[in-house]
Structure formats: C-alpha cells, structure tokens
Chains A and B, each alone.
Chain A
C-alpha cells in the first residue's frame, strides 16, 4: 500500500478548491429531487445539491435520513417522483446510459459474483464501462496493488472478508476513470490502513478533477476529506457548507464525552448549569456545554450523582456531529 505522502484533508484545500471551481459547470447537479417510498413514507424531499469538478461533497445524516435514496436516484437506479439531475451537463432522467458511463458507483452493500475471482469481477465491470482490454488489465493491476488486494486477486470473492469486498467495490467504482464518483458508506468496514489509502486516493482523484459525492456517517471522514458537506434530516437538506462553516455554527460550545461502564438515567444532567444538550451514543454520553470555568467538574459530579461509573472522559472541540445535534436535536448515529 502506498502511503508515502501524507493525507491532505479536504478542509485544508477547500478555499483553493472553491476558487478553482466557482465558475465551472457543476459535474453533478440535483434539482429539487423528491422521492418518497410508499411503504414507509420515508425518502427525500426537495433536495438540491451541486458538486463541482474536483470537489468532494459529503452527505451526512443518520440512518433513514435519505442518503442512500438520494444516491440511488443520482445513480439512475430509481427515478425521482419529481425534480431532476444532470451529470456533466447530461440529463439523468432521459439519458441514463450516458450518465452511467460518466459515473463510478459504490453502493452501500456491495455485492459481487462470489464464484468468480476478484480480478474477474473487476475486469467484467471495467469492460462493461467500455474500457479496452489492455487498459483495463493495467489499471486493475495498479488498483489491486494500491488497495492491497493483488495477493487475493485470483481468489474467489466468496473467500473475501467484508473489508476486502468493500475494497473490491472501490476498485470497480474507480477503474474506468469516472468523472463523477458516488460512494455510499465507502470506508465502513475498512481497516485503518485501507481507510488512509482510500482517503488519499479520493483526494488524488479530486485533484484530477473528479467530482465525488460521499454519503457517510463517519464525521471524522467527512471533516477531513470533504470540501463541502450537507446534512440530511428526514429527507431534507437542513444545512450545507464547508466543514469549517458548519462547525462555526456551534462556536463557543464544548463537547464533553464521558464513557460509562453502565447506562444511567441522564435526564438530570441537563439541569447542570451550562449544559445545553445530552446525547447518548453507544457507551458514551456526549454533553454539549457552554465554555465556563468549572463546568467539567460539575458535569462529572452530575454523572456520579446519576450513578454513572466514568471509565473515560475527554473535552473536545465541536465537530459536525454537534452541528447536526444542534440543528435537529437528534443524534447523527443510532443509539445502542
């Protein structure tokens, strides 16, 4: 795996990126897209986003917020009830095959032909996207090597781990050199080294002018990788901007993360002076607090009074997750 250069976070080049792309036609433009599933009533409503060439755009939202639905529509898998979208100027509703040819796609639950080898799967998709034989073989060899899959390329996919299957899906999405890349939870299930490799590749592709739309629940990933991000909540875009802009909305807020040995009734913590919000997340309690002297001690005392046994405590700067909580009053990730 090639990790000789450091990861360049999207946050650090977003201004340069915007100045490069401000006056260009969007590579991907979704206009007032709505689609509701009759069975559940969920979906997306009036969603408009635009991704410029060379831009990495993050879609954040809890499960069921509409991220995957939006990606399904933009990948031409399903049609919207209303609205439309364009990919590199091509209408996504009337010229589906042209749009598909310009796009790379990784779905949230990648599947493959299990009885074929990883190489055969990737080669099949590369050729389906119109790659020439020699170019497909060369590009795939490079990508298999990059994602540490070369050793397993000739193994049947049914022997692959979940993470290997995800990496194979990334190879399939990138191999044909798409102009727009749609990725649904791409890093979920990847080991740390693979995540770094994948993130570096995404930045490299963006530098080459590829527009990337990334749906994720991983706040750190979106913060470090994306030039802009949008929050989806119950099918609607509730905020959009650069990660810095979004985080600036919770200026003056500190987050205290307390990892507890046991679940506690945390309602009384909101009565501690300066505590704005308490959000449980797995074994953690996340408290959004005003910056004031002594607040950490007061929070610890409150947790202890509630019967909580603190095994870890940290005070952090706010992140995108806090912005989402502030905007919606709900947690970004599912409670466990």
Chain B
C-alpha cells in the first residue's frame, strides 16, 4: 500500500502526517512529555487518570477542528468535495484518519503507563480501547465544531464551551460520585468510561467492568460518528 502519491483522502492525511518531520517528532514527543511524568510521579490515581484523559480529549478535538477549519477556509476541502467522492464517506475518512493518527501519537505514552503501572490484561485492553473511543468522541466534536468555525481561535472557543461540561460530567475532577441526573448523563459520555478504566489501571477500584468500558462507548461512538457524517453536506460546502 502506498501513501505518496495518495489515491484516497485518508492516505493523503497519512502522507502529510509523516511528511512534516519536525512536526512529527513534536507530535510524538508531547504526549510522552506530559503523560510519562504523571504516570511515574505516584500522584493519586484519579488525578493521573484525569491528566491523561485531558491530553487525549484535547489532542482529538483541537487536532480535527483546527485542521478542518484551516482546510475549509483555504478552499481545498470544498474543491475536494466537488469531486465525485461521497461527502459522507469523505467526512468519515477525515474522522477515521484523525482518530488513528491521534492514537498513534498517544500509543507510546500509554505503553509506558502500562509498563510503569502493571494491570491485568483485560484492563489494559479496556483502557486502551477507552482512549480510542475518547479520541473518536473528541474528533467527532472537532468535526462538528468545524461546521460553524471560521478560524482556529473559534475552534478553541467552541471546543471549550462544549468540552468543559462534558469533562465535568465525566467526573475527571468534580462529580466523582454523581447522583440523580448527573449519573444518567455520565453514562452517555464516553470520556467517563476512559476515566474509570485509567483509574483502575492506576490502582483505584471502580464499579466499571472491562465489558462495560468497551460496550457502551462503542454504541455511543457509533451514534456520534453517524451523526457527524450527516453534517457532511453543510461541512464541505464553500465558505464565503
């Protein structure tokens, strides 16, 4: 399989990802630089899990949102949308490739976390999957935001407005023992499952099981991805 010259949208993104070498080194190093000291510090599990969660959410949301906004503003994405490619498949490719590339960025840091904090294999797999599901969610939010933004600064503003309540509900810092409607809301945010899985990896017992960590976010992410792909026609229309 060859990526350059690319014969598909996702291959174009892969080719671009690996073509900027200095940026690639930075992208691979910054999650390690943030996550590894946290994992090695012995800080309370809930905070260690929260820091890793925040890094994953930010990487996903801002990565997709800013790249898309930039491509939409300079017109190249609108031009691609005028080829016979299916707009929904195009948005799906944008989403999928961003998620996988973000996951590649986070994987070395996650691996080090698992080495420093050995956990049962089932929990390692569940935590890894939950990070992936978080990236799917965060990128979906980023793509959704790009429907309304005209600059990277807008992405920051909109993302903050959307992510703060979600992070709150997920119980990263506050709302760790939710009651009533907050419990119900927490069940609908994939970030919460990652938080539970990472807490368990760091040695803090939760009520979650590896099965729930995998099952519910899968359903939630499928719905999110479907919904975001439905915005394709609006997202890929020219900006004036």
A136 and chain B: residue at smallest CB distance: B7
Task: Say how far A215's CB is from chain B's closest CB, in angstroms.
Answer: 16
Q: In the bound complex, what is the Cα–Cα distance between A93 and B83 (angstroms)?
A: 15
Binds B, one of A118-126, A202-210, A216-224: A118-126
Q: A123 contacts B7, CB within 8 Å?
A: yes
Residues B55-99 near A (CB distance < 8 A) = 74-76, 78-86
Q: B8 contacts A127, CB within 8 Å?
A: yes
Residues B1-57 near A (CB distance < 8 A) = 4-9, 12, 15-16, 19-20
Q: Which of A77, A117, A128 contacts B238 (CB 8 A)?
A: A77
B240 at the interface (CB under 8 A from A): yes
B16: chain A residues at CB < 8 Å are: 113, 115-116
A231 at the interface (CB under 8 A from B): no
B183 at the interface (CB under 8 A from A): no
A78: chain B residues at CB < 8 Å are: 237-238
A192 at the interface (CB under 8 A from B): no
Task: Say how far B208's CB is from chain A's closest CB, in angstroms.
Answer: 42
Q: In the bound complex, what is the Cα–Cα distance between A251 and B72 (angstroms)?
A: 48
A153 and chain B: residue at smallest CB distance: B5
A77: chain B residues at CB < 8 Å are: 78, 81-82, 237-238
B80: chain A residues at CB < 8 Å are: 125, 128
Task: Say how far A303's CB is from chain B's closest CB, in angstroms.
Answer: 42
Q: A129 contacts B84, CB within 8 Å?
A: yes
Q: Which of B15, B85, B240 contacts A116 (CB 8 A)?
A: B15
Task: Say how far A110's CB is from chain B's closest CB, in angstroms.
Answer: 8
Task: Say how far B16's CB is from chain A's closest CB, in angstroms.
Answer: 6
Q: A120 contacts B78, CB within 8 Å?
A: no
Q: A72 contacts B238, CB within 8 Å?
A: yes
Q: In the bound complex, what is the Cα–Cα distance between A78 and B81 (angstroms)?
A: 11
Q: A116 contacts B83, CB within 8 Å?
A: no
Q: B76 contacts A112, CB within 8 Å?
A: yes
B83 and chain A: residue at smallest CB distance: A128
B8: chain A residues at CB < 8 Å are: 127
A111: chain B residues at CB < 8 Å are: 74-76, 79
Bitwise interface map of B from 184 to 214 toward A, beta carbon under 8 Å scored 1, else 0: 0000000000000000000000000000000
Task: Say how far B228's CB is from chain A's closest CB, in angstroms.
Answer: 20
Q: Which of A72, A115, A125 contacts B83 (CB 8 A)?
A: A125
B23 and chain A: residue at smallest CB distance: A115
B15: chain A residues at CB < 8 Å are: 116, 120
A101 at the interface (CB under 8 A from B): yes
Q: Which of B6, B20, B240 contacts A120 (CB 8 A)?
A: B6
A109: chain B residues at CB < 8 Å are: 75
Q: In the bound complex, what is the Cα–Cα distance between A128 and B81 (angstroms)?
A: 10
Residues A148-203 near B (CB distance < 8 A) = none
Task: Say how far A150's CB is from chain B's closest CB, in angstroms.
Answer: 15
Query: Which residues on B are within 8 Å of A, measured CB to CB?
Result: 4-9, 12, 15-16, 19-20, 74-76, 78-86, 237-238, 240
Known: A124-B7, A127-B7. 17 other contacts (CB 8 A): A97-B86, A100-B82, A100-B84, A107-B79, A111-B74, A111-B79, A113-B16, A113-B76, A115-B19, A115-B20, A116-B5, A116-B6, A116-B16, A120-B6, A123-B7, A125-B80, A128-B84
